[in-house]
Structure 1
Amino acid sequence: MFPYRKILELHSEGVSLRSIATITQHSRQKVTEVIKLAEKRGIIIPLDEGITDPWLEDFLYPEKKQENSGRHVMDFEYVHKELARPNVTLTLLHDEYVREAKSVGKIPYAYRTFAEHYHNYAMKYKATMRIRRKPGEILEVDWAGQTLSVIDPDTGENRKVYIFIATLPCSQMFYVEGSYRMDLPSWIRLHQHTFEFFEGTPQILVPDNLKTGVTKHTSKELILNKTYAEMADHYNTVILPARVRSPKDKASVEGSVNIVSTWIIQGLRNMKFFSIEELNDEIWKKLDYLNNRPFQNRNGSRWSAFLEEEKFALSPLPATPYRMSEWRTAKVRPDYHISIHSMFYSVPYELIGKEVDVKISDSTIEIYFNHIRAASHQTLYGKYGQFSTLKEHMPQNHRLYIEQTPEEGLKWAASIGDSTLMIVTFLLETYEVEKQALNAIFTLKKLERKYTNYEIEQACKDVLKATNRPTVKSVQTIIQSNKKHDEEKLTEPKSRKMKEKYGFTRGASYYGGRNK
């Protein structure tokens, strides 16, 4: 038997390759090949007593058994690599293997033997086996059934802490964190922490049917919580909840719940914590131990399996983290406002009585009708009962009413011209009652309905030339007079042309014969 074990032991003692070749009476090239294969397979020195030369030969050269069988040799590394691709199955690879065997005149293995050989290879040489799970495809999430507690330093009471668990089924790598609440903001925040821990996102999220994430799930209909769905879309993943009463749909996280319950929850049962941060620090220490603990039946650990077999398949994190928002429905009140947290936000008055969708975040309130954004406001804080009202949402008569302020009057006048501004300023200064001045100013503003800004400014200029005490009536009279004068100017050339055209018509004297 080839002395694999002796070569590896001599190499670990620092013996040169030339000396090892001399001692074992084998070529230096063969010695080098064995040492490199051992390093590639992750063999650690000193070797256990059960690792014999036959075991090492089988471990380093798994294809030798196939060659001795007379069958077409399987490329295990190729099969393992291809199974990482989306939608590639062992059945497809076996079909390709059969066609390849026939093309070279060799006998292929049957599917069952093919799968068995790959199973043995993956379990012995690889951290993960890719028959049922694709790397980076699924992340299963759930709450543990058991809880921990934190002592309130002020009251001395125990505060319940819920344990969130996320598992990648391919590598069995998992993440754990404690939370005071199981509400939607906590659910979203824990998902974000999970993605940051794995430094990537999976293709599919598989949660349980909790109300925080799933509004309705039947055999015919699936309705996700809008905020949860929006978060998943931001991280370029999709949500496929487990079927109701089907724990096997998320078997990996169910298994992780048992591990976490034993090694973390029960492992911390006798410790006292006075803050959630202190508790999570201890949870993460035990999590690090569990993820790095060697597998019992194969090489590696969850952490090494994740790094070697799964991390490459996760999608990269987006440039900016998801900003939490909440979705609600609201009915538009008769005053064209909706109420959110006892604050009031306007929408177009045409939507009075309609149901609208509202997206609530720390900075903005966005209102949607039939999936089209109808309004957007900055989120109000402070005293309850505040209003955020946009003029464009108001009916015309309401808009005119709120615009009747001295500031709005001066602003309008300045947009027309200097002469108009002088008259409006004069009206504000001379009327004893502000309301009377505003009535006069906005009567003047109504001229916009019939006249252009230029015509209004010209009339104001003419009035100021005629008097030092202008009135709205004088402006109305002048603008009407100017308009009439302009219209006469336009019609005068036309009448003159008519006279010129018919000015040489022959009269009665011509037809009487005197001008012949």
Structure 2
Amino acid sequence: MINYREILRLNSLGYSQRRIEASVHSSHQTVKNVLEKASAQGISWPLEDDITNAILGEMLSDRNTRTNSPYAEPDFAYIHKELSKKGVTLTLLWQEYCEKCRTNGQQPYMSTQFGDKYRRWARVTKATMRITHKPGDAMQVDWAGETIPYYDTVTGEEYKAYLFVAALPCSCYIYTEACGDMKQENWLLCHVHAYEYFGGVARLLIPDNLKTGVIANTRYETRLNESYRELAEYYGTAVVPARVRKPQDKSIVEKSAGFSTTWITAAMRERKFFSLAEVKAAVAERLEIINTMPFQKRPGNRREAYLNEEKEFMLPLPRVPYEPAVWKQATVRNDYLVSDGQNKYSVPFDLIGEQVQIRLTKNTVEVFFKGDRVASHQRIATFQTQPVVKPEHMPEKHRRYLRYNADDFRAWAKTVGDSTETVMDHFLKSGSSPEQGYKNCVTLMKLGEKNGKEKLEYACERMLELSSVPSIRTIAVILKNGKEPERKTTFPADSEKYGITRGAAYFKKGGDRNA
């Protein structure tokens, strides 16, 4: 029997045909035919151990001389090419093969034999990748295990850069990016950059079960993180997480992550970086080297395979890149404010005590309650002490407080009286700015509304008699005592010209005072 395996092995080692003939004890024509047919069908060494000489003999034998088989041999190369097209399956191709056989008066293989023969052919010719992974069908994503160190130029402190990896299983085309952390915002941004790098979107998105993407993945349900679901919806792709503890579900990205570790992390082990930007630039350079590196077992490289076999099957990119959004939950407190982690923003006051969802992007803060958007703010990049509050979110009393100003306070006090005006002016001038006295001014107005302007004027007058530094607490106490203001006694206008009306005798010692 011809030793097909040994002929292919020796040929891969560069042996001459004459030496191969001598080694395997086969004729010149036999070795020549084996090598020519193997080359024509794309069969090359190394082969898997279970690819026997019998299997190779069946594949490399001349189909035109097979007069003992009543079945028509399928054109496996054609089948393989058609399978790469969107929507084409082995079942469809078998039906077309059967119709062609009936037209030519030939007998077709049954569907099971048809599939087995094709899979064997694809396995021997190393074409199995196209069986499992159709072009444009999936993008697998993960974080690489190794990190890249970089250092602070002043303190020398060491930081870590994490490597994101995305891979297209059909062409093995990959995208890598260095990030300062593995948090959700970087996770989402890396997806956006990967789609931009590929120039298209795969039909499926296959991540691991990390919490930044998948909340739960059980036999009964798959619950995605809201931010991740939103990204997939925006790009028109479907997230299908790998099964828990089943790395083979995303084997290509697992291999690509290991490949990236070797050709990026290990290749740059002698370089010292002093910023994350330097790491990012170096990773981008190494990425181009990886994608243009020739394949070991087939012609071309990753980029050529992608451009020639896969790019046309990718979904188109949206006109505007997705802006990553991070979702979080919060309970609205009594100040009707929510936080983005740095600054505070208002929501309608009637949501106090309710649980809301906060959607954070780079430029906006949106708040949702039961699926409806109830508030939207422009996000502030730097920290500020004062919250961002919209008047329409405030209760009426708080809105009225916002409308107050120093001139309005003074104008109101003038309608009450001089003492009230003096007290009000003191409150406005007592601090470094008028706003610091607004609280006392508002309280003084409320006291006037509750007790009446006349009583308030009296209380302010008494306050000024007691102290040159008015206190709102003291004015409130005076009003609480309920003492009515003393009314001044009026005399006839001509009484003053007489002076003292009692005579001198009245004041004379020992005089009769009743006189």
On whether the aligned pair clears a TM of 0.5, the verdict is: yes
State the aligned residue count. 379
**In structure 2, what is the Cα distance between the partners aligned to 1:278 and 1:164?**
16
Contact map agreement 1:345 1:377 (CA 8 A) in 2? yes
Report the 3-state secondary structure (helix = DSSP H, G, I; strand = E; otherwise coil) of the residue aligned with 2:338.
strand
**In structure 2, what is the Cα distance between the partners aligned to 1:313 and 1:383?**
46
Tell me what 1:486 maps to: none
Distance 1:270 1:169, change over 3 A: same
Tell me what 2:350 maps to: 350
Tell me what 1:197 maps to: 197
Tell me what 1:256 maps to: 256
Report the 3-state secondary structure (helix = DSSP H, G, I; strand = E; otherwise coil) of the residue aligned with 2:268.
coil
The residue identity in structure 2 corresponding to 1:351 is L
Tell me what 1:332 maps to: 332
The residue identity in structure 1 corresponding to 2:155 is T
Contact map agreement 2:204 2:240 (CA 8 A) in 1? yes
Tell me what 1:101 maps to: 101
The residue identity in structure 2 corresponding to 1:394 is M
Tell me what 2:388 maps to: 388
**In structure 1, what is the Cα distance between the partners aligned to 2:330 and 2:106?**
71
The answer to whether structure 1 residue 289 and structure 2 residue 289 are counterparts is yes
Distance 1:379 1:275, change over 3 A: closer
How far residue 407 of structure 1 moved from its aligned partner, in angstroms, is: 9.8
**In structure 2, what is the Cα distance between the partners aligned to 1:286 and 1:349?**
53
**In structure 1, what is the Cα distance between the partners aligned to 2:379 and 2:175?**
34
Report the 3-state secondary structure (helix = DSSP H, G, I; strand = E; otherwise coil) of the residue aligned with 2:233.
helix
Q: Percent identity?
A: 39
Distance 1:302 1:110, change over 3 A: farther
RMSD (Å), alpha carbons: 4.1
**In structure 2, what is the Cα distance between the partners aligned to 1:59 and 1:105?**
31
Tell me what 2:155 maps to: 155
How far residue 97 of structure 1 moved from its aligned partner, in angstroms, is: 1.7
How far residue 357 of structure 1 moved from its aligned partner, in angstroms, is: 0.5
Distance 1:404 1:167, change over 3 A: same
Distance 1:373 1:65, change over 3 A: farther
Distance 1:119 1:299, change over 3 A: farther
**In structure 2, what is the Cα distance between the partners aligned to 1:178 and 1:349?**
43
Q: TM-score when scaled to structure 2? A: 0.63
The answer to whether structure 1 residue 89 and structure 2 residue 89 are counterparts is yes
The residue identity in structure 2 corresponding to 1:317 is L
The 5 Å alignment of 1:101-500 reads 101-111=101-111, 114-115=114-115, 118=118, 129-341=129-341, 343-380=343-380, 382-403=382-403
Contact map agreement 2:179 2:186 (CA 8 A) in 1? yes
Contact map agreement 2:342 2:383 (CA 8 A) in 1? no
Report the 3-state secondary structure (helix = DSSP H, G, I; strand = E; otherwise coil) of the residue aligned with 1:387.
coil
How far residue 393 of structure 1 moved from its aligned partner, in angstroms, is: 2.5
How far residue 334 of structure 1 moved from its aligned partner, in angstroms, is: 2.3
**In structure 1, what is the Cα distance between the partners aligned to 2:286 and 2:383?**
46
Contact map agreement 1:127 1:309 (CA 8 A) in 2? no
How far residue 235 of structure 1 moved from its aligned partner, in angstroms, is: 2.1
**In structure 2, what is the Cα distance between the partners aligned to 1:187 and 1:202?**
17
CA shift digits 1:391-415 (9 cap, x unpaired): 3333345444544569999xxxxxx
Distance 1:124 1:287, change over 3 A: farther
Report the 3-state secondary structure (helix = DSSP H, G, I; strand = E; otherwise coil) of the residue aligned with 1:195.
helix
How far residue 353 of structure 1 moved from its aligned partner, in angstroms, is: 1.0
How far residue 110 of structure 1 moved from its aligned partner, in angstroms, is: 4.3
CA shift digits 1:321-375 (9 cap, x unpaired): 1223221111112233323335332222322211000111232211101111111
Contact map agreement 2:150 2:275 (CA 8 A) in 1? yes
Distance 1:338 1:179, change over 3 A: closer
Report the 3-state secondary structure (helix = DSSP H, G, I; strand = E; otherwise coil) of the residue aligned with 2:145.
strand
The 5 Å alignment of 1:45-56 reads 55=35
How far residue 206 of structure 1 moved from its aligned partner, in angstroms, is: 1.0
CA shift digits 1:433-465 (9 cap, x unpaired): 7989x99xxx9xxxxxxxxxxxxxxxxxxxxxx
Distance 1:225 1:122, change over 3 A: same
Contact map agreement 1:136 1:313 (CA 8 A) in 2? yes
Contact map agreement 1:166 1:253 (CA 8 A) in 2? yes
Distance 1:381 1:270, change over 3 A: closer
Report the 3-state secondary structure (helix = DSSP H, G, I; strand = E; otherwise coil) of the residue aligned with 1:388.
coil
Report the 3-state secondary structure (helix = DSSP H, G, I; strand = E; otherwise coil) of the residue aligned with 1:274.
coil
Report the 3-state secondary structure (helix = DSSP H, G, I; strand = E; otherwise coil) of the residue aligned with 1:153.
coil
